[in-house]
Amino acid sequence: MKLQTILSLGVLGAAMIAGSASAEVRDIRIGVDVPYEPMEYRTPDGELTGFDIDLGNALCAEIGIECEWVVQGWDGIIPGLMARKYDAIMSSMTINEQRREQVLFSDPYITPPSAWFAPADVEIGTPSEESLEGLTLGVQRGTLQDNYVTDLYGDVAEVNRYATADDMVLDMDSGRLDAVFLDFPIGKSTLLDSEAGDYKLVGEMITEPQEYFGEGFGIAFRQRDQELAEAFNEALATLRENGTYDEIHERYFGKE
């Protein structure tokens, strides 16, 4: 019987082994989910770029620290922050109450609206319970757009949830979706400006109610890293004043 005990114990030990490493305090890593063009995406040669990336790098330079970007899927992005896989999230994350319970947010650094997009040949009136009734709508799972569409139209329309924006676009291309609800800049870049299909904007840009759309995008930190958040807020204020912010904004969204 001894043998069996040894075997059982050995397995317990083996099961506990997992990759482990320690993080340096000064080393700032920022979690980001790509692709989410033009906010964060990769150039064809694999380099990270986008509004968040450029602004994030500028903020770090202003504070005088080194920043390293860590790519992480949206599903696990908050747990990853808690796990200290990285120290901040800068990935088009909307500030809202629900997330505030988990993380500490910086001041909002951009406030993009959300919007409906549909294939050019689909006739949809201004989005409402009547006009969307019976349609198949696409959202990215776990986003504020998911919450908004689920709560407002979940009972009248079919809501398909996707892991990435790419999957959603593919299903829209193939005619499986009648409309999708996205952050406007992302919809513009992946649908309106794309050559693959013919798409249009449906209705107005949507920024209300705040319960869903929050106050804009913020950088998320762990609750206890108050000083870090303060440093980013100060740097953001400086960049807004000295024109760097506008310059980066223009790079990705053009002139207002």
Partner 1 sequence: MEALLAQLEAQLADNSIFTLQTLSYYGEGLVTTVQLVFLSLIIGLVAAVPLAIGRGSRRRWVKMPIFLYTYVFRGTPLLVQLYLIYYGVVFVEGIQESWLWVILEKPFVPALIAFTLNTAAYTTEIFHGAIKATPRGEIEAARAYGMSRALMLRRIVLPSAFRRALPAYGNEVIFMLHASAIASVVTIMDLTGAARFVYARFYAPFEAFLFVAAIYLCLTFAILYLFRYLERRLLAHLKPASG
Partner 2 sequence: MIDLHGYGPRLLEGALITIELAVLSLILAIVLGLATASAKMSRNWLLHRTGTLYTTVIRGVPDLVLMMLMFFGGQIGINMVTDWLYDRFGIDTFINVNEFVAGVITIGLIFGAYMGETFRGAFMAVESGQIEAGRAYGMSHWLVFRRIRFPQMMRHALPGLSNNWMVLLKTTALVSVIGLSDMVRVAAEASKATREPFTFMIIVAAIYLLIASVSEWGFARLQKRYNVGYGEAD
Interaction site with partner 1 (CB under 8 A): 75, 78-79, 102, 136, 141-142, 146-147, 160-162, 170-171, 174-176
Decide which of partner 2, partner 1, none touches 111; Cβ closer than 5 to 8 Å per partner kind.
none
By C-beta, is 3 or 120 nearer to partner 2?
3
23 binds partner 2 (CB under 8 A): yes
15 binds partner 2 (CB under 8 A): yes
Site string for partner 2, 204-223 (x = CB under 8 A): --------------------
DSSP three-state, residue 81? helix
- Minimum separation from the CB atom of position 72 to partner 1 (A): 14
User: What are the angstrom distances between the C-alpha of 145 and each of 90, 148, 159, 208?
Assistant: 18, 5, 11, 12
Tokens of 93: 């994350």
Decide which of partner 1, partner 2, none touches 175; Cβ closer than 5 to 8 Å per partner kind.
partner 1
Long-range contacts of 119-128 (CB under 8 A, 24+ apart): 119/172, 119/175, 119/178, 119/197, 119/198, 119/199, 119/200, 120/198, 120/199, 120/200, 121/198, 122/178, 122/179, 124/178, 124/179, 124/202, 126/202, 126/203, 126/204, 127/179, 127/202, 127/203
Encoded amino acid at 64, one letter: G
Decide which of partner 1, partner 2, none touches 73; Cβ closer than 5 to 8 Å per partner kind.
partner 2
Q: Which member of 66, 68, 83, 209 binds partner 2 (CB under 8 A)? A: 83
By C-beta, is 14 or 120 nearer to partner 2?
14
Asked if 103 contacts 78 with a C-beta cutoff of 8 angstroms, the reply is yes
84 binds partner 2 (CB under 8 A): yes
Site string for partner 2, 108-147 (x = CB under 8 A): ----------------------------------------
114-119/88-89 β-pairing: unpaired
- Minimum separation from the CB atom of position 17 to partner 2 (A): 10
Decide which of partner 2, partner 1, none touches 3; Cβ closer than 5 to 8 Å per partner kind.
partner 2
User: What are the angstrom distances between the C-alpha of 89 and each of 80, 136, 193, 217, 252?
Assistant: 9, 31, 27, 11, 20
Within 10 angstroms of residue 42's Cβ, the number of other Cβ atoms is 15
Enumerate binding residues for partner 2 (CB under 8 A). 1-5, 7-8, 10-11, 14-15, 18-23, 25, 73, 75-76, 79-80, 82-85, 166-167, 170, 173
